[in-house]
């Protein structure tokens, strides 16, 4: 008779492996079968042990050990924040709002060394700043392609919330393509949203993927109490890679500008203008001495009343830029922020008086 414990082993293995598969059967004696099942059971146990060894907590520990020394604590006269090493020769990336209008800035490393930092330059329109410290042997963090980030992927924030140095939190990428308003009526494009805990003091620190690569720079939280409320935002790494090298070289970053104000087309507007689709961006106003004025873009010229509401109509409707479809102003701004530079010539596709026309326009820096 087979021992009861060996029967239990057989039942466990069948349950784990899901039964027999395939059409070919190999026959064993009863003892061979039990021995074979015991071997399978040991294999399953080993597999479970391997899964345990590769548990996510071990992975997070590894990420922290590899990246933690490259995340710094930033202390100014009136604020605290975070940053990370961008290059071996002492450049550190942080948020512009962390170091804005500060005459004294200190950068502390995890080994306890604190150095005075100089501001190389900053850009308020992306909330990025670059500092320089006199220290050799720094290990920069690897920068990933934020276009490859997907909703649901792991997100890891390292920084100094409330002055608590070298704190690590974990969550997921909640969404992409958000916008954050900044000064002058402009906004930061393609911002990453995460539920990884981001609190005051995390600003300027890195948002990492599961490989420990930077996918964003933590910059803001959506809160009503001043503390973490489950919605954090990070400047995408691709924006960092566009802006930071120019700041290092020139001390600032010029953003391309068209010079129009308007609104996205709605269905009632499309019907009144006899448009085939309710997509596109209607030019309501052309700014004086702007690239748009030089290129001859036409603003709205008339108003009609519909269902008790006034609709401003009659201007150019932008439906494309450099061959890309424009569904609304977001598409225009994203193209300017991610694919265009000051001095570039772009081609706008517009609907004017019921006809599609192309307008060439040379981008200028924001005034």
The active-site residue out of 123, 127, 316, 331 is 127
The active-site residue out of 97, 166, 174, 300 is 97
Q: In 10 A of CB 224, how many CB atoms?
A: 6
The active-site residue out of 167, 203, 237, 300 is 203
3-state secondary structure of 143: strand
The reply to whether 97 belongs to the active site is yes
Residue for token pair 């006899």: 274
Interhelix angle 30-53/4-17, rounded to 10 degrees, is: 60
Between the CA of residue 121 and those of 155, 222, 336, what are the distances in Å? 28, 27, 22
In 3D, which of 98, 67, 103 has the Cα closest to residue 85? 67
In 3D, which of 153, 147, 137, 138 has the Cα closest to residue 211? 153
Is the CB of residue 32 less than 8 Å from the CB of residue 64?
no
In angstroms, the first-to-last Cα distance of the chain is 91
The reply to whether 127 belongs to the active site is yes
Q: How far apart are CA 339 and CA 91, in angstroms?
A: 25
Q: How far apart are CA 348 and CA 360, in angstroms?
A: 6
The residues assigned a catalytic role are 97, 127, 203
């Amino acid at each position: 008779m087979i021992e009861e414990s060996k029967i239990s082993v057989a039942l466990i293995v069948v349950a784990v492996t899901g039964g027999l598969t395939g059409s070919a059967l190999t026959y064993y004696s009863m003892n061979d079968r039990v021995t074979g099942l015991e071997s399978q059971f040991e294999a399953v146990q080993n597999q479970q042990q391997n899964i345990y060894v590769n548990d996510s907590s071990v992975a997070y520990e590894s990420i922290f050990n590899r990246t933690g020394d490259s995340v710094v604590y930033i202390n100014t006269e009136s604020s605290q924040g975070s940053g990370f090493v961008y290059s071996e020769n002492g450049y550190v990336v942080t948020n512009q709002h962390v170091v804005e209008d500060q005459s004294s800035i200190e950068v502390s490393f995890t080994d306890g060394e604190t150095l005075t930092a100089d501001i190389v330059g900053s850009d308020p329109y992306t909330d990025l700043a670059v500092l320089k410290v006199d220290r050799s042997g720094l290990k920069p963090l690897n920068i990933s392609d934020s276009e490859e980030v997907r909703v649901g992927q792991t997100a890891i924030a390292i920084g100094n919330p409330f002055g608590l140095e070298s704190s690590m939190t974990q969550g997921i990428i909640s969404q992409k393509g958000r916008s954050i308003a900044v000064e002058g009526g402009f906004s930061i494009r393609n911002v990453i949203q995460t539920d990884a805990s981001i609190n005051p003091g995390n600003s300027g620190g890195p948002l990492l993927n599961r490989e420990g690569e930077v996918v964003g720079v933590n910059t803001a939280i959506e809160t009503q109490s001043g503390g973490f409320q489950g919605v954090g935002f990070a400047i995408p790494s691709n924006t960092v890679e566009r802006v930071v090298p120019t700041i290092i070289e020139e001390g600032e970053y010029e953003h391309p500008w068209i010079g129009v104000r308007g609104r996205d087309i709605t269905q009632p507007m499309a019907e009144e203008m006899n448009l085939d689709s309710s997509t596109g961006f209607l030019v309501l106003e052309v700014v004086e001495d702007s690239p748009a004025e030089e290129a001859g873009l036409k603003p709205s010229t008339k108003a009609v009343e519909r269902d008790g509401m006034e609709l401003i109509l009659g201007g150019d409707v932008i439906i494309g830029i450099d061959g890309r479809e424009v569904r609304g102003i977001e598409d225009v701004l994203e193209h300017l922020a991610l694919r265009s530079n000051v001095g570039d010539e772009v081609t706008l596709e517009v609907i004017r008086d019921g006809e599609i026309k192309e307008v060439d326009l040379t981008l200028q820096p924001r005034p």
